[in-house]
Amino acid sequence: MPIKSGKQYIERIDRQNINIRYKGELIQGPLSKHPAFQGIIQTQAELYDMQGEESYIEQMTYPSPDTGERVGLSFLPPRNAEDLQKRRLMMELWAKRHNGFLGRSPDYMNTAIMSLYTAADILEEHNPKYADNLRAYYRYCRDHDITLSHAFIQPYACKMSGQQDAAEDTIAAKVVEINDQGMIMTGAFMMATQGATCEEMLVFPSPSPTLFHDVNPTAFAFAVPNDLPGMTFICRESYGAASSYDYPLSARYEEMDVLVIFDHVLVPHDRIFYYGDEAYAGRLFGESRFHTHIAHQIATRYIAKTEFMLGLLESLADEQNVGLEPHMIANVSRIIAYLETFKALRLASELGASRDTFGYFVPSAGPLIASSMLFPQFYPEMVEMIQLLGSSGLIMIPSEMDFHSDSGPYLNQYLKGSTTEAWDRIALFRLAWELGAGSFGGRQTQFERFFFGNAQTVAYRMYNQFEQHEQLRNRIQDFIAKNNTSSQLDGLEDQA
């Protein structure tokens, strides 16, 4: 079964029998009809449809090496420069479609599982069965176009608990039993973004260290369908609602975050990717070049989002007749400079790509980490530009219903722009409000800031991969060593 259509995506999501709670109540009926989910499901469906459109299919898919059917290009493990470019082009098409707002458009996890797959060999020595499981699972996802989410981060108390003692009493995620059918696992995960609007979930926590057990019960990775017995999804509140006039962003791009509880969930043997030895957590991430492959996808998203912000800022400025004022030129040019920067860094990562130990072609890490250091600081700056430009216009904005009510004529008369109708002007301000002052925008800012971990974590990643520390220090040392001494200059001094 090849790439799926939007319709197939919706059917599969709706068919799932998942235990999901919103504001304390179990969601009944198809998820695709629920106001908190219908927008994002619709948006993802469009992405899936796009893959199969005649004008895109060549650029967005490739023939599965196993089935020959066309599968998503973001599953392609890159072997050379051309593969990297193909991947980028595919991701770019999706990113432009969702304007960079989907942190979990399908290519994100497609890339993630592809990346882990490329390092499956290291599991051979651990347990050849696990290596086979990982490879088989990757192929399954690719050939069935599985929509995947991931659960990596545990709640604070679980992490703390694990650090103190990885033994029985911990509330850290752990395997509590192994039996014929698989392993039984218990624990909780924060922030599985789009957890409920995917088919399956990759679970891969950071293990707690243990001194007391030969087999570390907190060290494991696996993938399961979303509707296994024992799984519970608890949603945060939705920030928008169905009207895309009132909530132009959240009505389309609201990626629900969920808290996922595993309460004695049975994970089948063939879905386990490693177990018991905490060393493999770090190795799988590191040797698969997980962060680098992912960062290549994200850089593409950054570019699409920056373009959207730029377009919005200029539209808002024009609407207020200030588009050519010096401070606007300064702000717009600053965004253009960053747009050039993100494009250039992505390009540099591709041109600096090199082959990893398994023969795959991996983008250069440095430019991509630079990109992931700069965007989290630049994104809030763009948001601030919009806030300052939108001013009180981001606050006193009526809603779609107001236009359709008796108040409509007043709004049409008084809220129009210089050349625009009130309905269009307010639509623009509602967009600016969602991004600059609404809850959707608030989450986006947090999301971008902490996407790759906090600033210090990313700084260490950059510091550690840099190979010129010694060389540049030596250059300074040589520079100083070549200082002349005054004795050599005696002849000159006399003339001073």
Q: Which residues are annotated as a binding site for FAD?
A: 193
Under the binding rule (CB under 8 A), the answer on residue 227 touching a copy of itself is: no
CB of 259 to a copy of itself, least distance (A): 6
Nearest-angstrom CA–CA distance, 228 and 219? 21
Under the binding rule (CB under 8 A), the answer on residue 78 touching a copy of itself is: no
Under the binding rule (CB under 8 A), the answer on residue 67 touching a copy of itself is: no
Under the binding rule (CB under 8 A), the answer on residue 212 touching a copy of itself is: no
Under the binding rule (CB under 8 A), the answer on residue 129 touching a copy of itself is: no
CB 113 within 8 A of CB 141: yes
Residue with tokens 């039984």: 184
Task: Answer positive or negative: Cα dihedral of 377, 448, 150, 159.
Answer: positive
> What's the CA angle centered on 91, arms 88 and 93, to 5 degrees?
110
DSSP class of 102: -
Under the binding rule (CB under 8 A), the answer on residue 50 touching a copy of itself is: no
CB 278 within 8 A of CB 209: yes
As to burial, measured by CB atoms within 10 angstroms (0-12 exposed, 13-18 middle, 19+ buried), residue 90 is: buried
CB of 289 to a copy of itself, least distance (A): 17
Binding mask 255-294 toward a copy of itself (x if CB under 8 A, else -) reads --xxx-x-x-------------------------------
Distance of alpha carbon 160 from its chain centroid, rounded?
26
Which of 224, 415 has the CB closer to a copy of itself? 415
Query: Binding to a copy of itself (CB under 8 A): which residues in 404-433?
Result: 404-407, 410-411, 413-418, 424, 427-428, 431, 433
Under the binding rule (CB under 8 A), the answer on residue 158 touching a copy of itself is: yes
| Residue 189 structure tokens | 């995960």
* Site stretch for a copy of itself (CB under 8 A), options 1-9, 80-88, 175-183, 440-448: 440-448
φ/ψ (deg, to 5) at 306: -60, -40
Query: Binding to a copy of itself (CB under 8 A): which residues in 3-42?
Result: 21, 23-25, 29, 33-35, 38
Query: Binding to a copy of itself (CB under 8 A): which residues in 81-100?
Result: 99
Which of 104, 271 has the CB closer to a copy of itself? 104
As to burial, measured by CB atoms within 10 angstroms (0-12 exposed, 13-18 middle, 19+ buried), residue 307 is: middle
Nearest-angstrom CA–CA distance, 74 and 115? 10
Kindly give the interhelix angle for 81-97 and 326-351, rounded to the nearest 10 degrees.
150
Under the binding rule (CB under 8 A), the answer on residue 156 touching a copy of itself is: yes
Please give the helix or strand (H or E) that residue 316 lies within, else none: helix 290-319
Nearest-angstrom CA–CA distance, 109 and 148? 6
Query: Binding to a copy of itself (CB under 8 A): which residues in 291-330?
Result: 307-308, 310-312, 314-315, 318, 320, 326, 329-330
Three-class secondary structure of residue 279 per DSSP: helix
* Site stretch for a copy of itself (CB under 8 A), options 72-80, 202-210, 216-224, 441-449: 441-449
CB of 208 to a copy of itself, least distance (A): 15
Under the binding rule (CB under 8 A), the answer on residue 438 touching a copy of itself is: yes
Which of 160, 167, 184, 266 touches a copy of itself (CB under 8 A)? Answer: 160
